[in-house]
Structure 1
Amino acid sequence: MNEQLARTPTAIRDYSETLFLPKTEFPMRAGLPQREPLLLKRWREIDLYGQLRRKAAGRPRFILHDGPPYANGNIHIGHALNKILKDLVTRSQQMLGFDSNYVPGWDCHGLPIEWKIEEEYRARGKNKDEVPIVDFRRECRAFAEKWIDVQREEFKRLGVEGDWAHPYTTMAYPAEAQIAREIMAFARTGQLYRGSKPVMWSSVEKTALAEAEVEYHEKTSQMIWVAFPITQTLDADLEGAAVLIWTTTPWTIPANRAIVFGSEISYGLYEVTEAAPDNWARAGSRYVIADKLAGEVLGAARVAGYRRLKDVLPVMIVRCAHPFRGLVGGGGYWDFDVPVLPADYVTEDAGTGFVHTAPGHGIDDYGTFLKHRETFAACGTPEVPHTVDEDSAYFPTVPFFAGERVYDAKGKDGGANDAVIRKLTEVGALVARGRLKHQYPHSWRSKAPLLFRNTAQWFIAMDRDLGDDTTLRSRALDQIKHHVRWIPAIGENRITGMIENRPDWVVSRQRAWGVPIAVFVRRGTDEILRDDKVDGAIAAAFAAEGADAWFEEGAAARFLAAGGHSADQYEKVDDILDVWFDSGSTHAFVLEDPVHFPGLAGIRRKMDGGQDSVMYLEGSDQHRGWFHSSLLESCGTRGRAPFDYVLTHGFVLDERGEKMSKSRGNVTAPQEVIASSGADILRLWVAASDYSDDLRIGPEILKTFVETYRKLRNTIRWMLGSLAHHREEDRVALSEMPELERLVLHRLSELDREIRKAYAEFEYSRVVALLSAFMTGDLSAFYFDVRKDALYCDPISSRTRKAALTVIDEVFRCVVVWIAPILAFTAEEAWLERYPSESGSVHLETFPAVPEEWLSPELARKWAEVRRVRRVVTGALEIERAAKRIGASLEAAPLVYVSDPGIMAALEGVDLAEVCITSGIRIVAGEPPADAFRLEDVRGVAVVPERAEGRKCARSWKITPEVGSDPDYPDVTPRDAAALREWDTARAA
């Protein structure tokens, strides 16, 4: 039978069936949009999350505490970046040997949800003020629950693994109870206080805003120069003159109570010598102005001529009069003195060198009031005046302007500025006016411009002694510098500057949907009731009923009774907490509550002498947001930061580096990318990008990642196909392997160190670069290319073939596990193709333990030289192929001239024809002919291309005179004849 098969004419024998060609069910076309949902379903069915927790039990823990996204809409590409990056952290840390548990969370309280419910009310003609607050809050809760469900499924579709069945939400009853306990803790330590000072106020949202809720956008403001008559001076030459101020908020003039100057600035007295009769600044008028700014100011005033009369020391100006002082109909409202005071924040950059000061409408202004309070009182201003109400309208007590609004209901300019300017013109105090484009604070939610407004608010003190010679500020700064690792490192400088310069934390909001500032104050005072029984009753009620309990009828009497107090003595605070306080408190329940989060609570962090770590990961804007509030909250209640690592990423821009906008049509939606290409493409984009900077995405960029993915997938597919012929009993020991196989194992050992380090350092782009270079360069373009002949054509018994399969098996295991945190779906698909299992998963693996003995630097140096020679041969053959003198490289048998002794030594024992995939190669020591092919960067090597001589093997396609030397197999090489003989024998058996 064997002899008959052997002597069958070649024309009718199909040699392809005798080759060990790759065989796999792993498809070339990924079909990720269809395949990924099936894998998600499988993970759910096998309880992958539960298996991960059980397998990692007892390991040191690496907890990525989720910064809660806001539950009010579909996710966008920024969400996708954030959640995928978090998944890269948790999956890779798990594979590095940690118990890396991820519990997703949501921020649920706050104004955007209130607005949505109010919009629904308006659409139905319903009045919010007529709805009981508890009913309104329930509608807000239902709205948030709906979007949590939507976002949860969208996040899961990205391949993000976590405890999706038990997320945390800031509106969960236990969470609301703990948030209340946290603010009570600030109250007990005296850090919480009620004060009246200017805060950023949104007249559209009718609430105070924290700095983290403020954006700066360009706004065109009216600017005016106003004369304040000098009424008391120590310099007789200044009698009858006026101090000029400049402001871009004319509406604050009625609130003016002082003028400040810079002690280092040079001032002069200027007289107008020539001006048009109808000019506001008339001839003979005298003004005190900073010398550097005088020309600019008088030019704006359209003065035709002026002269400088003398130097002026502003300390010689004691008092001025308000421009509206003594007006008929003013009711004496402005009949006070305006002190002229020094301040270190006055500059010569713009204005007049004097700064109009309205203590109720500016932080610096308010600070000046506190510093010189006695002087203000002596001038008739014992307290900071309240000028505008929550709608930004002047109070009825303000003459001439009562009811005029700074901004209307939509945030557009109201009539206040024009009304004030008309009155200043009427009394002759206006010197000049103009318009200025500048950056101005706006609400990040409503996008409406803000104003500083003096109101009674609740604050957490930054600089109050906490009894251990520390303050909240000093604690936070110490933690930033000594106890937290910032990734990238520049984050430390950013948050340090913010903490160093921030004012006291405004934690109160005048809204309905949130956790209340659950304290009582003694009536008629700001004294907070400190009673553990009352606090305990409040927390217990919140845990059982939610924070709605605070707003139920009779709540004050109910809670006060727990401590034996009465509502006649104390009043309930109905302001709610800043939502940043909510999210800043999440560590207190997610990381410390063993009942609701048993997998996270009880961590022993490194700063406590343990091995566990906590990471916070969000966009770079959270230095002033969640990182900031969490740091302050934890330092205020626990004396330390809630995190060990803080990793920040940039924002996502379009392909041209511009901000995405629906109106501009440049938005890339993650849902669309997943539907067309799959989530693994998005995951590859995230991992390969430099997340420390802003990222770009768009159709063309995604095409490059689709192509990168295709190359990686095809490499994995080829390995799977080749491994179909691998038998465990054929595994070859390291000592018996050819050099080429030992070289690949050396590279695996090198990569093991580099990839572990990159994952440990959160350098995912480095991982992608390393794996891409290895899989496409070292493997596909070199090792696999060289070894295909042996793998496909060698006899069943070939040691080279068995060694190659042994190495490919090791390579496959390493590569697929290494890439699993990034290509979560593809790695799982490949793993299950190689290791079918009802409940197994690549994500249950840790990174493979690569033996140290695989390292062989000397071998690597030798083969680096061999590969350089191969490049020269390949270059020469490319020219031959382009000239159509040869087709495939097997048609060549070039001469390789080597004049470098070191390279010649490296080629010792190497089958260079096999390495270069030619039918033959002859190595010649010595200098080459002048026309030989060379590469400039490979000295001492040259190639003269020659065609291979002999017949073409019908099985391996090599061209050699040896074809036909085996009479049983006359159309193949001896190697192929041996392979066929083994094949035929096995088949016959």
Structure 2
Amino acid sequence: MSEQRDYRDTVFLPKTDFPMKAGLPQKEPGIQSRWEDKQLYTQLREARIGREKFIFHDGPPYANGDMHIGHALNHVLKDMVCRTQNLLGKDAPYVPGWDCHGLPIEWKVEEQYRKKKLDKKAVPPAEFRAECRAYAQHWVDVQREQLKRLGVMADWDNPYLTMQFDSEATIVAELMKFAEAGNLYRGSKPVMWSPVEETALAEAEVEYEDIVSTQIDVAFEITESPIPELVGAHAVIWTTTPWTIPVNQALAYGEAIEYAHFMGADAKHYLVAITLLPEFLARSGLWPNVKEVRSGEDTGIDYTTYKGSDLAGTVARHPMHKLGGFYAKPRPFLPGDFVTTDSGTGLVHMSPDHGEDDFLLCREYGLEPQFAVMADGRYRDDWPWLGGDDDRRRAVINKTFNSPDGPICSDLREAGALLSASDDYEHSYPHSWRSKAKVIYRCTPQWFVPMDKELSGGGTLRERATQAIADTRFVPEKGRNRIGSMVEGRPDWVLSRQRAWGVPITLFVKTGTGEYLQDPAVNARVVEAVREQGVDAWDESRKAEFLGADHNPDDYEMVTDILDVWFDSGCTHAFVLESGRWPEMQWPADLYLEGSDQHRGWFQSSLLESCATRGRAPYNQILTHGFTMDAKGKKMSKSLGNTIDPLKVMEQYGADIIRLWALSVDYTEDHRIGDEILKGVADQYRKLRNTFRYLLGALDGFVGDMGDAGEVPELELYVLALLADLDGKLRKAVDEYDFNAYTRLLVDFCNEDLSAFFFDIRKDVLYCDGPDSTKRNAYRTVLDLLFHALVRYAAPVLVFTAEEVWSTRYPDGGSVHLLEWPQVPGVTADGAKWAKLRDLREDVMEAIEPLRREKVIRSGLEADVTVPADAVPEGFTDEDLAELFITASVTRGQGDAVTVSRTDENKCGRCWRLLPSVAEDGALCDRCEDVVARQDAAA
């Protein structure tokens, strides 16, 4: 046998410079730099002028600290929204922003002071605010660069900041709308208060943690009652906040509750709810057989029962009544519909300073707050019990102070009123989410927006907000009920904070009456001053200037509180969408997108602010995402050491891997990330990258087209039909913000329909058919259509890789991110027929595998296959099946199973197919002989 020729140089193998190894951490920064140099965002805005608008409004993250994984997911989702809308051809600008005022930043600056052993109060307010401003600006700059590195395309050169003077002026102007409409009032109510930070907190600034508290039972001696037998008995209250006993003013009972009057082992008489009697006896030890007492069983105690409503008119005295003054006043029994028998004694001690129910009930009966607890959590110096002790800073949240051996319990024990005290009560308790310290309810004068006052134009703020919620689209839908229930039950909006860094409540209050000035001319002067000078403009030195000739400065006081930072962020729609600073923006927004915690935060403050001033929500749709957990589903915590740093992930894997992860998870629920998860995402990425690498290689030098439609092979038409179907599903996913489905559809199409099916089948045609082959040309034409579609579909997800892919094929073709959604042929195919064929193909491959493992054959090319005749769809010849299954031959049999044997045919030396036309191993088949002959002739 003559020596065989080496035909490798006659095969048309794919050629591309696009590397298989991505090297994203090294490559991405250079791509990002080129985008900045070419002002890609500005180019996109100019390209979309006059198009249909899609207005996304970015919620402002806090400008303190590095980006964390939650920020990364949040901003990738936002970027995906804007990129997909721009891809659809809409004008979808992205103006980023930051919250720069408020406690979190002020707290960080104070920490720096404390490290230097400096007192913030000794620093001029303007100087302190300047440091807060500089601190915020530093982190704005840091986070901006980190988000750029993540591939987020936005107007980074012109973001909005709540501390910009224009922004501060707009916030003041929005506040004045409330004031001029009479929708503000100053009142004293219990609000969430942080003794550590010395300010009121919004509900959104509070988080709940499990703690162990001291629980105590305290006896209040009854001095008067319409039930003579009760005089001299002791009404028992139970509480887990011993520090509130010094400001008790009354006791509350449930009118429908049954109460037991009994004598304890100490020969004293007590009053406790019957259903809670066993638990009380177990705590207090007031009965000799206490160990035998169980809930729901007969206590064996003689008692008399009274209905709660019978207790009306009963009066007790405070255990510390001997101190006189405040403590000598009678403590009335008041009916409270909030009193339950879930725990305690069925009698509740009332402190209007430190509870909302307490405040409302006591106010109804003329009992006013005493303001006994100061801002730092100590009792007033002049308070007759426990006041004036500087050694107990923040006493009310001090665990030792409240312990069974602390001063309150010790004094009550000495007075004979402490019936039980144990520091073993586990429960959930509110904490400041910044300082992590416990918070309290504290009654102080604050500024409020009423929820249930009739507004000009009709409806209360609660009613308007409820209607706006009904009119808004929520993704996921469960967000509607979440924010709806919060608005339904929320109290009046507390606007004021007792801090230095923020937008001032720019009101003048009339001395003596407490009424605030409602003068549009004064308000306009204040707004203009803030626009020129920022929040420092609100200064006593400008009082007369602001008030003007119509008002005597001596008659007014300037409010020194600042606005709740949620009011700041609730106004962002006004200065971002309406101000004209970003002409591409407009009001209202199509979409707000944040984490689900913002139902009680930014979503709600924006809703309330806009409903009060404009009658509707500032958004048409709300999209919320869950929280990122570790790989085991646990909440991330630095103390647990289970945090994932996105900056480190980008250093190791690249930003496109974070993006692919963020857009692959079900973001509507809590989701996970970890090393193994990221490795899986990186593997997905490699498969996508290899799809593009194959397309680039296969299309090297391609300039042709499909030719006559009648000559297009059915396989190519089927793949185009799959592409059309994918296109429709991706559009639907964009409309539904279902980015998990979007990414999964894209990945599965590339892996299952292309790499494992279409590319696999057609590699023989690509490598071995001649350049003028109709089938090869049709295949490459479809590859070209696939390339243009897939690179666009992938661009919002893999922003860096898609740019690399596009510029590899079109070095002078501009950016892929300026392109629009692809126009794909509206081809249809018999999907059922092809599904049947693909199932049969899978059966064939499974049947071949054992022979390949046993090395009977090396590949399917060496296999003669027999398939059940009824399993083959109509319209396919045996030769078609052999090509589609990549086997030597296929015949149809009458059996039910696929059978495989090694073929006896010889192997072509060029295409490696085993065919009857090959005379001997290494010789050429008819097709290859023709192609090689033409090549030789042209050489």
Q: What TM-score comes out, normalization by structure 1 length?
A: 0.91
Find 1:422's aligned residue among 385, 402, 410.
Answer: 410
Matched, 1:864 2:835: yes
Q: CA deviation at 1:91?
A: 0.4
Alpha carbons 1:948, 1:960 under 8 Å: kept = no
> Measured at CA, do residues 899 and 861 of structure 1 come closer, stay the same or move farther in structure 2, by a change above 3 Å?
closer
Taking the aligned partners of 2:78 and 2:270, their CA distance within structure 1 comes to 61
Query: Which structure 2 residues correspond to residues 592-741 of structure 1 after superposition, within 5 A?
Result: 592-594=578-580, 596-600=581-585, 602-603=586-587, 613-728=589-704, 730-741=705-716
Q: Which residue, 458, 472, 476 being the options, matches 2:465? A: 476
Two-structure CA RMSD over aligned residues (Å): 1.9
| Alignment partner of 1:914 is 2:883 | yes
| Residue 385 (1) aligns with residue 370 (2) | yes
State which of 524, 533, 549 in structure 1 corresponds to 2:537. Answer: 549
Residue 527 of structure 1 is aligned with which of 492, 495, 515?
515
CA distance in 2, matches of 1:674, 1:338: 64
Note the alpha carbon deviations across 1:429-482, whole angstroms, 9 max, x for none. 22222221211111110000011111111111111111334111110011001x
- Residue of structure 1 in register with 2:906 after alignment: 951
1:121 is aligned to 2:113: yes
CA separation in 1, counterparts of 2:653 and 2:873?
Answer: 49
- 8 Å CA contact 2:663–2:739 kept in 1: the answer is yes
2:747 corresponds, among 772, 778, 782, to 772
Structure 2 residue matching 1:886: 3-state secondary structure: coil
Residue of structure 2 in register with 1:21 after alignment: 13
Distance 1:767 1:10 in 2: 54
Q: CA–CA distance in 1 between the matches of 2:241 and 2:691? A: 65
Pair 1:440 & 2:413 matched: no
1:844 aligns with one of 815, 818, 841: 818
Change (3 A) 1:958 1:509: same
Residue aligned with 1:554, SS: helix
The answer to whether structure 1 residue 191 and structure 2 residue 167 are counterparts is: no
Letter in 1 for 2:305: D
Pairs aligned (count): 923
Report the equivalent of 2:211. 219
1:67 positional shift: 0.9
Question: How far apart, CA to CA, are the structure 1 residues paired with 2:247 and 2:160?
Answer: 46
Q: Which residue of 2 aligns with 1:934?
A: none
Structure 1 position 296 matched with structure 2 position 284 = no
* Correspondent of 1:321 among 316, 321, 346: 316
Following the alignment from structure 1 to structure 2, what is the Cα–Cα distance between the partners of residues 769 and 793?
33
In 1, distance between residues paired with 2:254 and 2:935?
A: 97
Instruction: Judge conservation of contact 1:866–1:907 (CA < 8 Å) in 2.
Output: no
The reply on whether 1:178 has 2:140 as its aligned counterpart is no
Name the CA shift for 1:565/1:776 in 2 (closer, same or farther; >3 Å): same
Contact 1:734 1:742 in 2 (8 A): no
- Give 3-state SS (helix, strand or coil) of 1:486's partner: strand
The aligned runs of 1:335-484 (5 Å cut-off) are 335-370=328-363, 372-373=364-365, 376=366, 381=367, 383-404=368-389, 408=394, 412-413=398-399, 415=401, 418-435=406-423, 436-481=425-470, 483-484=471-472
Query: In structure 2, how many angstroms separate the alpha carbons of the residues matched to 1:734 and 1:528?
Result: 79
Paired amino acid for 1:676: Q
Gaps of 5+ in 2: 289-299
Partner Cα distance (2:845, 2:301) in 1: 85
On the 8 A contact 1:949/1:960 being kept in 2, the answer is: no
Partner residue of 1:3? none
d(CA) in 1 for partners of 2:686 and 2:154?
28
Q: Once the two structures are superposed, what CA deviation does each residue of 1:891-923 show, in whole Å capped at 9, x if it has no partner? A: 1222333245xx352534761111111122223
Q: Distance in 2 between matches of 1:50 and 1:351?
A: 65
Q: Distance in 2 between matches of 1:93 and 1:508?
A: 39
**Deviation of 1:653 (Å):** 1.0
**What is the CA–CA distance in structure 2 between the aligned matches of 1:325 and 1:124, rounded to whole Å?**
43
- TM-superposed CA distance for 1:640, in Å, is 0.7
Match runs of 1:728-807 below 5 Å: 728=704, 730-807=705-782
Asked if the contact 2:224–2:316 (Cα under 8 Å) also holds between the matched residues in 1, the reply is no
| Amino acid aligned to 1:979 | V
CA distance in structure 2 between the partners assigned to 1:407 and 1:496 by the alignment: 40
Q: Does 1:502 find its partner at 2:490? A: yes
Structure 1 range deviating more: 977-986 or 65-74: 977-986
Any idea what SS the aligned residue of 2:772 has? coil
1:971 aligns with 2:923: yes
Query: In 1, distance between residues paired with 2:373 and 2:343?
Result: 27
Distance 2:839 2:193 in 1: 69
What is the rounded CA distance, in whole Å, between the counterparts of 1:788 and 1:588 in structure 2? Answer: 58
In structure 2, the partner of 1:923 is: 892
Alignment check: 8 A CA contact 2:276 2:344 kept:
yes
Contact 2:98–2:162 under 8 Å retained in 1: yes
Conserved 8 A contact 2:251-2:350: yes
1:907 partner amino acid: F
- Mapped pair 1:312 → 2:302: no
Residues 14 and 255 (structure 1), Cα distance of their counterparts in 2 relative to 1, 3 Å cut: same
C-alpha contact (below 8 Å) 2:217/2:236 kept by paired residues: yes
Partner of 1:546, secondary structure, is helix
Partner Cα separation in structure 1 for residue 924 and residue 396 of structure 2: 86
Specify the alignment match of 2:554 in structure 1.
568
The question of whether the paired residues in 2 share the 8 Å contact of 1:863 and 1:906 is answered with no
**Which of 791, 813, 816 is 1:816 aligned to?**
791
CA distance in 1, matches of 2:156, 2:937: 57
Letter in 2 for 1:66: D
Q: Cα distance 1:118–1:906, how it changes in 2: closer, same or farther (>3 A)? A: same
Counterpart secondary structure, 1:62? coil
Normalising by structure 2, report the TM-score.
Answer: 0.96
Could you tell me which residue of structure 1 aligns to residue 476 of structure 2?
488
> Residues of 2 paired with 1:540 and 1:298: CA distance?
67
Q: Give the match's secondary structure for 1:664.
A: coil
Per the alignment, residue 157 of structure 1 pairs with: 149
CA drift of 1:287 comes to 1.2
Pair 1:103–1:410, CA change in 2 (3 A): farther
Q: 1:687 to 1:348 in 2, by over 3 A?
A: same
1:104 has 2:96 as partner = yes
8 Å Cα contact 1:796/1:982 also seen in 2? no
Q: Aligned partners of 2:10, 2:121: CA distance in 1, in Å?
A: 84
1:326 positional shift: 4.2
Structure-2 separation of matches of 1:413 and 1:191: 40
Secondary structure of the residue aligned to 1:433 is strand
Q: Distance in 2 between matches of 1:828 and 1:352?
A: 69
What's 2:296 paired with?
none
Asked if the contact 2:878–2:890 (Cα under 8 Å) also holds between the matched residues in 1, the reply is: no
Q: Which residue identity is paired with 1:695?
A: H
The percent identity for this pair of structures is 48
Cα separation, 2, equivalents of 1:344 and 1:589: 45
Match for residue 608 of structure 1? Answer: none
Contact 2:833–2:873 (CA under 8 A) maintained in structure 1? no
Within 2, Cα distance between the matches of 1:588 and 1:135?
A: 29
- The residue identity in structure 2 corresponding to 1:855 is T
> 2: CA distance between counterparts of 1:893 and 1:623?
64
Relative to structure 1, the CA distance from residue 978 to residue 570 in structure 2 (aligned partners, 3 Å threshold; closer, same or farther) is same
Determine the C-alpha separation between the residues in 2 that align with 1:20 and 1:725: 11
Task: Note the alpha carbon deviations across 1:697-729, whole angstroms, 9 max, x for none.
Answer: 11111000000110111011101100014223x
Q: 1:544 to 1:248 in 2, by over 3 A?
A: same
Q: Decide whether the 8 Å contact of 1:401 with 1:416 is kept in 2.
A: no
Letter of the aligned partner of 2:882 in structure 1?
Answer: A
- Using the alignment, how far apart are the partners of 1:125 and 1:861 within structure 2? 77
Say which SS state the counterpart of residue 855 (structure 1) adopts.
Answer: coil
